[in-house]
Amino acid sequence: MLVITMSDPALSDLPENLAVCLTILRRLSELCQDLVNHTTSPLQTKNLILKVHDVTAAFHHLITSNVDRSCQAAIEEHLAAEAEKLASVLATLLRSLRVFSP
């Protein structure tokens, strides 16, 4: 939803969708801290935290990237590419989390 609201300036849901994303990222960071405290495998923990960092970096890049606002197609194309990158790092993180699932 965040990408959709970023693509259309007429939509007023951007602050709300951004807040939801930031809440999720904050919770993800808290889970990483818990993981560090409760895991016996430092290498797996480090790799997982690096993947979380990749997610936050991709999100930061999505939010702060310069978008050519000359036409709607350029905006949508840019945001779609950024959303695809974010989805890719999220998928990688989810695959890594399967190791820790009961």
pTM: 0.71
**Distance in angstroms (rounded) separating the CA atoms of residues 102 and 95:** 14
Q: What is residue 18's predicted lDDT score, i.e. its pLDDT?
A: 76
Please say if the pLDDT value at position 12 is more than 60: yes
C-beta of residue 55 within 8 angstroms of C-beta of residue 96: no
Let me know: does 43 contact 32? Beta carbons within 8 Å: no
Question: How far is residue 60's CA from residue 42's CA, in Å, rounded to a whole number?
Answer: 26
What confidence tens digit (pLDDT) does each residue in 22-72 have? 888 888 888 888 877 777 778 888 888 888 889 888 888 887 878 777 787
pLDDT tens digits for range 64-73: 878 777 787 8
State pLDDT tens for residues 81-91: 888 898 899 89
Distance CA 71, CA 7 (A): 11
Cα–Cα distance, 71 to 22 (Å, whole number): 28
